[in-house]
Amino acid sequence: MSLWLNVGVSAPDVAERAEHGVDVLLRVYAKCLDGQQEIANKRIEDALPE
């Protein structure tokens, strides 16, 4: 599941496939998302209108 999250599969999709709630999934796997801030910032920046 950490692999799926790290390659960009949405948390709700991963949770559904794992038969978990999103809250449980993120609580258990939050540590695997560390270091993703730069990627998230770039995606947000790219999505904003100029």
| CA pair distance 50, 19, nearest whole angstrom | 40
pLDDT at 32: 80
Burial of 37 (C-beta count, 10 Å sphere; 0-12/13-18/19+): exposed
Is residue 30 very low, low, confident or very high in pLDDT (cuts 50, 70, 90)?
A: confident
Q: What is the DSSP letter of 48?
A: S
Residue 36 predicted with pLDDT over 80: no
Percentages (nearest 5) of helix, strand, coil residues in the chain: 70, 0, 30
